[in-house]
Amino acid sequence: MYSTSNFRRGLRIMFQNEPYQIVEFEHHKPGKGAAVVRTRLKNLITGLTIDPTFRSGDKVEIPDLHDREVQFLYNISHVYHFMDPSTYDQFEVNSTILGSEAQFLVEGLNVFLLFYKGLPISIEIPKNVVLNVVECSPAVRGDTVSGATKPAKFQTGHSCQVPLFINEGDRIKVDTRTGEYIERA
């Protein structure tokens, strides 16, 4: 059991029989009455946020969560297949659980899956990944305005703006948090 004195950002707790992660918290001592802890919690299954208030000293349960490092193998339609490299166990994950992170998954990429009661509920991918450019218009001679960019599409289906010197077949590093170009790999 966690007490409100253990609260910190990123702590995972059970609240109303569902796993939540603390996004923000604040200890508040009003002039009259007992101290309270105001929190903002994110539901790890649905992604919704709530703002409950706890009395100082309240206890909350520790959820049955564990992270597991897995390797992305392949996808068929909306089902993504992962493998635990240490035990060779394979997992199927629906694209609704992966959300927008699915556009950055390339074969062989190591990611972390979060499991709740033995079922995957979310994914954590690296901050940047290397993708191959599969579709990109050629640069036009004389189009050298400083900071000029053009659209590029990658093997995963993701697309973003890249500098003019990038061509089809190039490998570039992309920031997975913003989806933007970082550098040539």
Question: What does the pLDDT look like over 139-149, one tens digit per residue?
Answer: 766 666 666 78
Q: What pLDDT shows up at residue 137?
A: 82
What is the separation, in whole angstroms, between the first and last Cα of the chain? 46
Q: Which CATH architecture group holds 2-60?
A: Roll (2.30)
- Count of Cβ atoms closer than 10 Å to residue 113 Cβ: 21
Which residues are paired to 150 by β-bridges?
162
Answer CATH for 65-124 from 2.40.50.140, 3.30.590.10, 3.30.9.10, 2.60.40.1190: 2.40.50.140
Give pLDDT tens digits for 53-90. 999 889 999 998 888 999 999 988 889 999 999 999 89
- Count of Cβ atoms closer than 10 Å to residue 21 Cβ: 19
Q: What pLDDT shows up at residue 69?
A: 93
Q: Are 44 and 87 a contacting pair, CB within 8 Å?
A: no
Q: Are 157 and 102 a contacting pair, CB within 8 Å?
A: no
Average pLDDT, the chain: 88
* Pairing of β 59-60 and β 90-94: unpaired
Q: Is the pLDDT of residue 167 over 90?
A: no
Q: Tell me the whole-structure pTM to 2 decimals.
A: 0.75
